[in-house]
Amino acid sequence: MPFKRFAIQLSACSLLLTLSGCALFSGQSAAESADVYVQLGMRYLSMNKLDVARDNLHKALEKDGDNPQANNGLAILYEKMKKPAQALAYYETALKLDADDLGIQNNFGRFLCDQKQFERGMKLLTQATTSPLNNRPWLALTNAGMCQINMGQQQKAEPYFQQALIANNSYAPALAEMQKLSYQHNDFNAANDYLQRYLAQSSSHTAETLWVAIHTERALGNTALATEYQHLLLKKFPLSDEANKIKSVLW
């Protein structure tokens, strides 16, 4: 089936929220049908429609129990649902089915670091970052930097973020991390520069970028802007840890 026709049919089926009567599957093998279910599941996952995503990903496994991407998708889904034991099981299966898949290495490595299994997590992330086939190395590089931070190794983390930005100078998560590290190094102008680059890509603050921005502007003597950022933090993220820190000082 030509790709253009396949994409049109997939889009049409997506709108139905059910695949039971979709003609897309006519004449397809079980493996091909599984791939379509995976694509739909991942699309719903990106929309945070977790129940529908889970249904489609499980249907993929019903069609093809050895589909590594279905297992990878379910692992991510159970991470979002804060069920790490189930996420781990699906990641293990995904990696067993396709140990060379860069996306699985990256996702599983990040997950393991979040679970404080740093050695194995970094091993997988290193595999992903050093592969000559990786055309998006900034993803795994940023995750490797975050893993180093979680290990308390800020100095080792910074080169990973810098390499990520060499590979993609507009990658917002790496820019946000460099904003924070620059502030910690008392390089306030650099922190402000990274913030502006971050905002040019994401167009939206997080509680953490605002928290760092407040202290950066105070250090630079820009008290009015620091106060503006403070008000914005309290307005947009009133329940965040950063907002609570401000409230404890003000009130």
Residues 74-130: pLDDT tens digits? 999 999 999 999 999 999 999 999 999 999 999 999 999 999 999 999 999 999 999
Kindly indicate the confidence band of residue 248, based on its pLDDT and cuts at 50, 70 and 90.
confident
Coil, strand or helix: which one is 38? helix
Residues 140-162: pLDDT tens digits? 999 999 999 999 999 999 999 99
Closest listed residue to residue 178, CA positions, set 201, 151, 197: 197
- Taking every pair of Cα atoms in the chain, the longest distance, rounded to a whole number of angstroms, is 68
Average pLDDT value for the chain: 91
Distant-in-sequence, close-in-space partners of 57: CB < 8 Å, separation ≥ 6: 37, 38, 41, 42, 45, 70, 73, 74, 77
Contact 144, 129 (CB under 8 A): yes
Show the tokens assigned to 27. Answer: 């004449």
Residue at token pair 């140990």 = 99
One-letter amino acid for residue 21 of the chain = G
The percent of residues above 70 in pLDDT, for the chain, comes to 88
Higher pLDDT, 5 or 47: 47
Residues 192-235: pLDDT tens digits? 999 999 999 997 899 999 999 999 999 999 999 999 999 999 99
Residues in the chain: 251
Distant-in-sequence, close-in-space partners of 217: CB < 8 Å, separation ≥ 6: 192, 223, 225, 226, 229
Q: Quick one: average pLDDT of 168-176?
A: 98
Contact 26, 12 (CB under 8 A): no
User: Which structural domains are found in the chain, ordered by start?
Assistant: 169-246 (1.25.40)
Residue 249's Cβ-count burial label (10 Å; 0-12, 13-18, 19+) is: exposed
pLDDT at 26 over 60: no
pLDDT at 24 over 80: no
Kindly indicate the confidence band of residue 27, based on its pLDDT and cuts at 50, 70 and 90.
low
